[in-house]
Amino acid sequence: MKRFLSLLAVAILAGVLTLGAYKAFLEPEPDKVVITQSESKTSAIPTAYTVANTKLNAAAEVGADFTIAAEKTVNAVVHVKQYGVTRAPRNLMEFFRNGGEEERRIQGAGSGVIITEDGYIVTNNHVIDGATDLEVTLNNNKSYKATVVGTSPQSDIALIKIDPQEKLSYIPFGNSNNAKIGEWVLAVGNPFNLTSTVTAGIISAKSRDLNELDRNFQSFIQTDAAINPGNSGGALVNTRGELIGINTAITSQTGSYVGYAFAVPSNNAKKIVEDILEFGDVQKAIIGINAAPFTEDYKEKYKITESQGVIIAGIEENSGAAKAGLQEGDLIKEIDGLRIRKFADLTGYVSSKSPNDVINVKIVRDNNELIKPVRLSKYVIQQYILQDVGVEVANPPKDYLKSFNTDHGVVISKALSARMQRYNLKGLIISEIDGKKVKNVMEVKEIIDSKYDDEDLTISLIDRDGEKREFVFQ
């Protein structure tokens, strides 16, 4: 027994010595962690902490409202499929084999928002542009053929119609002027053909001007709710389920969502829809001013001391602004109580109004604030592009037609196509289109809009010798 205990003691001692030697000489030194304590006291708030602040509590309640808003809207957002025909070659082999004239049926897809129970739907113009057929699929998988009621390419808004057998769920228009930066919103649409997709975010900015998109309408709502290809024409709604925007565009280097999405405000979309239903086209209102860039040079020129607003650089003759007494150098600060910080604020608000509406414009002149009631006038297009001909036409200057011995017509202001640029067409008069006399650019547009895509176009041209010639374009 003694021998056993002696062997055990020796074994334990040897183990201790071996472990100590390993610790001292062989084991790698661990990374050193230095902990410092700040002199100032800090505290961590647990995630379940309830703040006794009404604004924060309201934000917490908003989280619970996402499901309510989604339920109200998901059945009123549809999948829009458009079918068209193209003759463009897909590759060089097809070009050389068929001369680039092979006809192919193409398909595109987007989203739309039901705005009435009898089947009126708002979408983007680029979703339905060039379509020969439109198909709308509801959230319950029922499909309908759709017809185009009217479009506004400048605002990228279109109104289409289906004829359902039952009353449809729809989204009521909200007031986009009341939308606030930081407010929670939902984007509802069909990205990548994934139907009935809902994403959430906040309003990041309002009256966003996107010059790189080359759009005439420049007053978007910016949001960080995820929007991807296929979301175009879908709904941007607030937490009450009200429509405050039509999702239209993203900025991205990849073509997919990277955090920036843009929507046409609902007030502007609603006005376009009402105009199309009442007049057949959009009645655009203008205030009648030319704005100057808000730079230090112009601020110094007009003695502007404010840091925001719209500087008036010119007044259009016989416009509402001229009749109201607005002057060059005035600074527009508010319209109908709405703060005007930049030109996009002004255009966005005026675009939601109609000709003959009266708006109250607050201006700063000589450091004094004045309020001027301005009656908006109707915008009349001054230029129009005849795509099939390859020229731009404009309303002729006063007395210009006399030198061509005619009392009607529009003037060719620019040759656009390479073919037309070979001829000296600038300044010549187009007096008739398809045998119909034209007196202004608007009449030219109306004739072109009434034609089918495959119809020939006949124009009557008056040259510098007063000779009238007819040309047919296919």
**pLDDT per residue as tens digits for the range 388-413:** 888 999 988 878 898 898 989 999 99
Question: What residues act catalytically?
Answer: 126, 156, 232
Mean pLDDT of 350-374: 96
Exposed/middle/buried for 18, CB within 10 Å: 0-12, 13-18, 19+? Answer: exposed
- pLDDT recorded at residue 31: 33
Q: What is the pLDDT of residues 260-280, one digit of tens each?
A: 899 999 999 999 999 999 998
Residue 420 CA to residue 212 CA, distance in Å, equals: 28
The architecture CATH gives domain 285-378: Roll (2.30)
- pLDDT recorded at residue 38: 26
Domain boundaries, the chain: 76-161, 176-279, 285-378, 383-473
Residue 469 CA to residue 70 CA, distance in Å, equals: 61
Asked whether 157 and 122 are in contact (CB, 8 A), the reply is yes
Which long-range contacts link 90-98 to residues 24+ away (Cβ below 8 Å)? none
Structure tokens given for 458:
């006949």
Residues 6+ apart with CB under 8 A from 15: none
How would residue 98 be classed by pLDDT, with cut points 50, 70 and 90? low
How would residue 384 be classed by pLDDT, with cut points 50, 70 and 90? confident
Residue 432 CA to residue 460 CA, distance in Å, equals: 5
Mean pLDDT of 108-114: 94
Asked whether 196 and 74 are in contact (CB, 8 A), the reply is yes
Query: What CATH number does the domain located at 76-161 have?
Result: 2.40.10.10
Query: What CATH number does the domain located at 176-279 have?
Result: 2.40.10.10
Share of the chain above pLDDT 70, in %: 80
Mean pLDDT of 194-200: 90
Residue 417 CA to residue 236 CA, distance in Å, equals: 39
- pLDDT recorded at residue 81: 94
The architecture CATH gives domain 383-473: Roll (2.30)
- pLDDT recorded at residue 388: 82
* Mean pLDDT (the chain, rounded): 82
Q: What is the pLDDT of residues 11-60, one digit of tens each?
A: 555 554 454 544 444 444 433 322 222 233 322 222 222 233 333 334 43
Asked whether 347 and 290 are in contact (CB, 8 A), the reply is no
How would residue 174 be classed by pLDDT, with cut points 50, 70 and 90? very high
Q: Is 76-161's fold the same as 176-279's?
A: yes
Residue 57 CA to residue 401 CA, distance in Å, equals: 69
pTM over 0.85: no
Measured CA to CA in angstroms, residue 176 lies from 65, 243, 408 at distances of: 19, 8, 43
